[in-house]
Structure 1
């Protein structure tokens, strides 16, 4: 057995097995047929010598590492945690390892991690971007690898993107509340505003305008896309002279924070204020009351993002695609008719 100071190489394996260096290389890389007898001798020599093939060297030869990157803006957000799980599961099933990074919604950290991933010679990247569109596009411009944007598309992009129809999803949520008889319907959005939050806010405004309720709506309250952000925004809504009877939160984390603010104020959903979220994270089913929310097809989006990325990696497609999948409304216990409901306007 070799000493630790002299690690085994392909050459020492070849000498031990009594074969050529080329034969060992073919066994390792599967680049040519090797007889069962020779393969057995090479594998026995590798075991005897504690030989571990270099993944980096093999990737340089094959020009592929079978590793993809995945970067999200907030790993503590249950929505992104579920997205990561689906991407990792589908990537692993397709023969790819996944390297995970968290930008923490910081464009500078995102830029640093993009450089790290490029140096690791990953084959491609699934990215939930953070920062303004021009900044992200500039950061991606120098990357020599396929990129698929997930959840947050960019204006004027030339990359594949997978998202859901955020405006349509918000419309489902607010139409549900209007149909229950609510007139003063508040909105809690992300700050600084992401394109996703802006689209959801736009859907909220559209439905209120169509129902003739725009002048009764309180100002949008903004906070970070977190439970704390939703808690703080809900407290501000409750302090208004005419608090809303229903609130659309632009993600489930904020909706759960809003439920906490109601409880602290001695109020409850849906008896005092109805709450509707967006994402349908697993936790939405388990909070009390169970959260009415807009369900994104998270598993389908994640699998599609990985499939599009692998198509790019394997050079089976060159044109950019944007896929916007349809959301759906999941009605649970956090929404109900207000205590005094007027006739619902036609939508």
Structure 2
């Protein structure tokens, strides 16, 4: 085995097969080899540090993503600096600039605002940037995301398959890109099935948090006459179920509910929530791996990961 192959394997290069990397690391550990990250950082002009900025920490979706980032960063010899933008696009941009001043090797961004600041960021941020669940068409960034459209199709098709014809969509407006894709999938599945979308159920209130949006929607959902509701995310769905309980409306007997994300709360909701599972841990892992590949001057393409439908107790076949 050549010296360059061993060197790449010890740097966890994606150019080396996993089997070869494992073999090299096994021998290295038997010989008592411990990577000198300080020496590596000096020779490569790196800090072996990754900066990650998230929109806010209250979103349960993000914590499994962070877990994937942390695990893989540790495995590849990186330290992680985590910062919260508190849903403020200017703060988000300032955090990215701060990371650059600290000379981190790259930045991972999980944000709903990136599309509004990316033109400034791509002009001023001179290091690799990996976006999670945000696709921006620019060569300066790479992204790992899910297919919002196909994920939403899974949810709505499930409701159609179990006999529902009047299906509402409950969304929010502070995440317009993903919400529009999910709404388009909702409309397409219904039209393809000979059914009519119900845009009047789209929530336009932007001052409420996700759970509050669902909770506040319960009464209007029942007044609309729908038999099922597809919610933009699990927090809205859990809020809707809470609002329906307050009204004495049984789920799924009177209304079937589907969410999106499969956060931890989904399986413990009452009833347990049918939802679309995002590969959150895998997204975090791939973000770090992609960043490491870019730093190793390897070609990296954007990645779109698959979702899966998880059927639990909040949906049931409609009896006509």
TM-score in terms of structure 2 length: 0.81
For residues 282-321 of structure 1, the aligned pairs below 5 Å read 282-317=264-299, 321=301
Displacement of 1:335 after TM fit? 0.5
Structure 2 match to 1:181: 163
CA distance in 2, matches of 1:189, 1:160: 27
Structure 2 match to 1:229: 213
What 5-or-longer segments of structure 1 have no aligned partner?
Answer: 1-54, 342-347
C-alpha contact 2:96 2:107 (8 A) present in aligned 1: no
Structure 2 match to 1:139: 121
What 5-or-longer segments of structure 2 have no aligned partner?
Answer: 1-37
Aligned CA distance change for structure 1 residues 124 and 132 (closer, same or farther; 3 Å)? closer
Provide the aligned length of Structure 1 versus Structure 2: 281
CA distance in 1, matches of 2:201, 2:114: 24
1:329 correspondence with 2:294: no
Structure 1 match to 2:112: 130
CA distance in 1, matches of 2:98, 2:197: 50
Displacement of 1:89 after TM fit? 1.4
Kindly provide the CA deviation profile for residues 16-37 of structure 1, in whole angstroms up to 9, marking residues without a partner as x: xxxxxxxxxxxxxxxxxxxxxx
Structure 2 match to 1:258: 240
Kindly provide the CA deviation profile for residues 246-279 of structure 1, in whole angstroms up to 9, marking residues without a partner as x: 1111111111111111111111211111110111
C-alpha contact 2:54 2:85 (8 A) present in aligned 1: yes
Aligned CA distance change for structure 1 residues 235 and 102 (closer, same or farther; 3 Å)? farther
CA distance in 1, matches of 2:139, 2:265: 33
Displacement of 1:215 after TM fit? 5.2
Question: CA RMSD for the aligned pairs?
Answer: 2.2
Structure 1 match to 2:28: none
Aligned to 1:190, the other structure's residue is in SS state coil
Structure 2 match to 1:246: 228
- 1:101 counterpart (83, 105, 129): 83
Displacement of 1:207 after TM fit? 0.5
Structure 1 match to 2:16: none
Aligned CA distance change for structure 1 residues 177 and 122 (closer, same or farther; 3 Å)? same
Structure 2 match to 1:112: 94
Structure 2 match to 1:25: none
Larger Rg: 1
CA distance in 2, matches of 1:323, 1:225: 30
CA distance in 2, matches of 1:107, 1:229: 22
CA distance in 2, matches of 1:221, 1:314: 45
- Structure 1 runs (4+) deviating above 3 angstroms are 57-62, 155-158, 215-219, 222-225, 233-236
Structure 2 match to 1:91: 73
Kindly provide the CA deviation profile for residues 267-302 of structure 1, in whole angstroms up to 9, marking residues without a partner as x: 121111111011111221111111100011122222
Worse overlay, 90-99 or 157-166: 157-166
C-alpha contact 1:162 1:304 (8 A) present in aligned 2: yes
Displacement of 1:159 after TM fit? 1.4
Aligned to 1:290, the other structure's residue is in SS state coil
Structure 1 match to 2:179: 197
C-alpha contact 1:188 1:222 (8 A) present in aligned 2: no
CA distance in 2, matches of 1:215, 1:255: 19
C-alpha contact 1:222 1:229 (8 A) present in aligned 2: no
Aligned to 1:65, the other structure's residue is in SS state coil
